[in-house]
Amino acid sequence: MSNSLPILTPSLQRWMIRVLTGNSAGKEFYLPYGRLILGSDSATQIQILSPGILPKQCEFNLDSNDATISPIGKGTMVNDRELLGQLAIFGGDIIQIGGIQLQVIDNNTSFKKLNFTISPWMAKLPKWLQLPIALGVLSSLLLSIMLLSGNLRLVPITSIVCASFVPVGTLCYVFEKYGSTAVSIKSILITVGLGATLGVVVTFILGIFAPDGNSWAAAPFFEEPAKLIATIWCWYKIGYRSPLCGLILGFAAGTGFAITETAGYFVEGLSNGDFSSSLLILFVRSVLSPFGHGIWAACVASAWFQIGWQFKGHWQPVFLRAILIAVGLHFLWNLPFFAFPISAFFSIIIFNKLLQSKGVWSAKWSFKP
């Protein structure tokens, strides 16, 4: 792709395109409002020099509210369907021309555009902190109402909300600082939901196949692949490919998984009639979960995205190392005698390295703090 696009102030523009394939994969370009022609001709506003691109391939019409694309020549695909007439496009849509894939990005859906503020004093807080504070207040209210009223119908929603506010806050922080230009909020929400759903499924499977009392030993071998599966939808449907996307989506899948697991332990404790112990477990697991499930899933997904989802021949060493590390840290976390602080320590070190490298696993790793 040429440099024919003008350099614009990001905060003033709604629309961007991200290159998904070729030597320019990962590069992003802000699009000015108005009529833009995409093609291989030097006179076009978006010039792509490729044998599969016509001199004038298609036309964008953009303003602050809407975006459309219209064909000029043949061969333009939008979300795997041929473009035959004017079509409205949205953030996350994939445009394919020849061997080139472009993704539409709508900055109005970015995290910084969201506003979770429910009172003036919260407006002074960082964006990533506002939602977990709101969830924390809601958790306190639900717990108080459930305790005073004895209404057990509040247990499902109370357990989910209480298990959410710390891991959701951590996810918001990671997304705002590292992932807001890599993945969309829609993709994050879908992946959290898939991770949560698979958490319930895996718990059920473990209850059937793992002997009583030994599920802690088998859990890493079931749960880590399940969280990786939760990232597949976004890879397949939206076209995310970079290790950074895998890192953020993996963390989202782990967050959803951790929420349902923590809520499940709380409900299980209540069913045994021990409210105080259940509440303690709920609090401790909610606080610790971001340093476990979220990081382990992020490690595995970033490595999987890095190798390009290609498992021809021998397994790639990058992914094999990542899955062994994740399973090992998970197993260490589950050991008796409170080994989880050691697991959390090394998990944080690895996650910090991956954040700095944008999800890319290097050839050799040092585990120094």
pTM for this predicted structure: 0.68
User: What pLDDT is attached to residue 35?
Assistant: 93
- Paired with 94 in beta bridges are 103
Q: In sequence order, what are the residues at sequence separation of 6 or more whose Cβ sits closer than 8 angstroms to the Cβ of residue 203? A: 260, 261, 264
Tokens at 256, concatenated: 């959803």
User: What pLDDT is attached to residue 211?
Assistant: 58
Phi, psi of 60 (to 5 degrees): -100, 145
10-108 CATH fold: Tumour Suppressor Smad4 (2.60.200)
- The domain segmentation of the chain, as residue ranges, is 10-108, 112-356
User: What pLDDT is attached to residue 111?
Assistant: 46
Closest to 239 measured CA to CA, from 197, 299, 187: 187
The tens place of each residue's pLDDT in the chain, 369 residues long, gives: 444 444 344 445 788 888 887 777 767 788 889 999 999 898 898 888 888 889 999 999 998 888 899 999 888 998 878 899 998 888 778 898 888 888 888 876 544 444 444 556 666 777 778 888 888 888 889 888 888 888 888 888 888 998 998 999 999 999 888 877 677 787 888 899 999 898 888 877 776 766 555 666 778 888 888 899 888 877 666 667 778 888 999 999 999 999 998 988 888 888 877 778 888 888 888 888 888 999 999 999 998 888 875 554 455 678 888 999 999 999 888 887 677 888 889 999 999 999 988 888 875 544 444
> In the β-sheet with 28-30, what is the strand arrangement from edge to edge?
28-30, 15-19, 100-106, 94-97, 76-78, 81-82
User: What pLDDT is attached to residue 118?
Assistant: 53
Which region holds residue 303: left if phi is over 0, alpha if psi is between -120 and 50, else beta? alpha
Q: In sequence order, what are the residues at sequence separation of 6 or more whose Cβ sits closer than 8 angstroms to the Cβ of residue 327? A: 220, 221, 224
d(CA 187, CA 184): 5
